[in-house]
């Protein structure tokens, strides 16, 4: 019991010392104006560093990824149909597809699928 307590205390002390050492080492010096400016081969930038992007395109990409993963989940059901009874396979597959259709309907109602407002 004493050895366990000693080990716990020693590990806590070592971890606290490492955290304090990291805090001291990672202190950053004052940021000056030259370090905070963007750098393009020694010249001042001609345009903004941040490019605006379309939120609709982002939402369509996310929806595509979600449905792509769902297709990957559906594909093995063809092989599972051979190994299980047809009624249980049909019920589970139809339940999954109904959930997908409800999700698509929800996205459609919220206007996520509209490209322009």
Instruction: Check residue 103 and give its pLDDT.
Output: 85
pLDDT 10s digits, 36-63: 666 656 665 666 666 677 777 887 788 8
Count of CB atoms situated within 10 Å of the CB of 50: 6
Q: What is the pTM of this model?
A: 0.47
Q: What's the CA gap between 88 and 80, in Å, rounded?
A: 10
Q: State pLDDT tens for residues 92-113.
A: 888 988 988 898 898 889 887 7
Q: What pLDDT digit, counting tens, does each position of 15-38 carry?
A: 999 999 888 887 665 666 666 666
Predicted pLDDT at 31: 63
Within 8 A by CB and 6+ apart from 96, the residues are: 70, 73, 74
How high does pLDDT run on average in the chain? 80
Q: pLDDT at residue 9 above 90?
A: yes
Tokens of 60: 């369509």
């Amino acid at each position: 019991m004493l050895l366990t307590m000693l080990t716990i205390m020693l590990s806590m002390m070592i971890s606290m010392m490492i955290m304090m050492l990291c805090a001291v080492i990672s202190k950053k010096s004052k940021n000056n104006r030259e370090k905070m400016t963007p750098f393009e081969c020694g010249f001042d930038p001609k345009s903004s560093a941040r490019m605006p992007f379309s939120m609709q395109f982002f939402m369509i990409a996310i929806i595509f990824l979600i449905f792509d993963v769902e297709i990957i989940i559906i594909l093995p059901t063809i092989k599972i149909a051979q190994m299980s009874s047809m009624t249980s396979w049909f019920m589970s597959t139809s339940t999954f597809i109904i959930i997908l259709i409800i999700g698509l309907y929800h996205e459609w109602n919220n206007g996520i699928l509209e490209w322009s407002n």
